[in-house]
Amino acid sequence: MIQVGIVGGTGYTGVELIRLLIAHPDVEIKMITSRAEAGRAVSELYPNLRGACDVSFSAPDIKTLSKCDLVFFATPNGTAMKMVPELLAEGVKVIDLAADFRIKDIEVWQQWYGMEHSCSDMVAEAVYGMPEINRAEIAKARLVANPGCYPTAVTLGFMPLLEAGIVDPGSLIADAKSGVSGAGRGASVANLLCEATESFKAYAVNGHRHLPEITQTLTTIMNKQVGLTFVPHLTPMVRGIEATLYARLTDTSQDLQALFQARYENEMFVDVLPVGFDPETRSVKGTNLCRMSVYQPQGGDVVVVSSVIDNLVKGAAGQAIHNMNIMCSLAENTGLTLTALLP
């Protein structure tokens, strides 16, 4: 059994990680930390876990965490980087679900996250944990930077087009929408039911923290700088992301449906829908799937991709477990054979 610790188990990402791990046949959760809730039963805070998780929250302690084989950080940005060096020195593998190790340019990271990075020497070593791109590197990694939710939906949608070199990389557009859980569990007036329901709005139009992460990944895929306009929106639902992606084709002779199907035919967590079917966020709710469709409206020179994920699973906890499975030489879908919740 893989002995696992979870640092930061009180947020939505943390409880989703717990929910999935308690059903994982090769994992034992040894420790779930929270300074504020130390001593309190996890199932008391999250009654959905009653009878399934008998762990109580404890204060984060390096000595205890060092007894784990792998530690997940489901913490605010800036937390993992303070503890990771000691854990790695003790031989513990780490998956960070926050952004501490995603962006390779430290100055860019500090600009977007508004703090000084405390272990910049570890950033170069960290592997970006998108299995569809970095599977081989993840298998050898001791530190994985789990991708953000928007970057997951956007990158997977653009990737086949960029790899094939059939679109203009300088004029990409990502129009993305997220459920309110993407903002986290912290109290906020903007996220109250009366504030968010029956409304729809764009936010962070001048610059969202996920923009440099997406641009970095797409640039790596293309091996040249890309130009991306990324506009996120808040939708009045709990879970889910839909990303509508636009690019201008430089080669209109390609069979786009065949291109996408060929790229993802061996990826168990990416589902390219048949022609005529449109992705819905509810079709991936609670699963580690990314579902997508590709369109060429009116047979013109613009390609449109619709990509949907559950922001808490494929966009966070599920992808982290996928990475763990690869790091620990398990079947990639272990603990992740999930069917979407309907209605």
User: Which residues are paired to 228 by β-bridges?
Assistant: 172
Domains of the chain by residue range: 2-125, 150-310
| Chain centroid to CA 130 | 8
Give the pLDDT mean for 37-51: 94
Check if the beta carbon of residue 26 is closer than 8 Å to that of residue 334: yes
Q: What is the pLDDT of residue 298?
A: 95
**Residue-level pLDDT at 186:** 77
pLDDT for 139 equals 98
What whole-number percentage of the chain has pLDDT above 70? 100
Arithmetic mean of pLDDT, 174-188: 88
CATH class for the region spanning 2-125: alpha beta
Give the pLDDT confidence of 126-176 residue by residue, as tens digits: 999 999 999 999 999 999 999 999 999 999 999 999 999 999 999 999 999
**Which is it for the CA torsion 202, 207, 210, 213, positive or negative?**
positive
Query: Is residue 192 pLDDT above 90, yes or no?
Result: no
Element (H, E) at 153: helix 149-164
Catalytic positions, written as ranges: 149
For 150-310, give the CATH class: alpha beta
Q: Is 298 left (phi over 0), alpha (psi -120 to 50) or beta?
A: left
Tens-digit pLDDT profile for residues 70-120: 999 999 999 999 999 999 999 999 999 999 999 999 999 999 999 999 999
Which helix (DSSP H) or strand (DSSP E) does residue 302 occupy?
strand 302-309
pLDDT at 114: 95
Least confident of 39-48, 132-141, 144-153, 181-190: 181-190
Position 178 pLDDT exceeds 90: yes
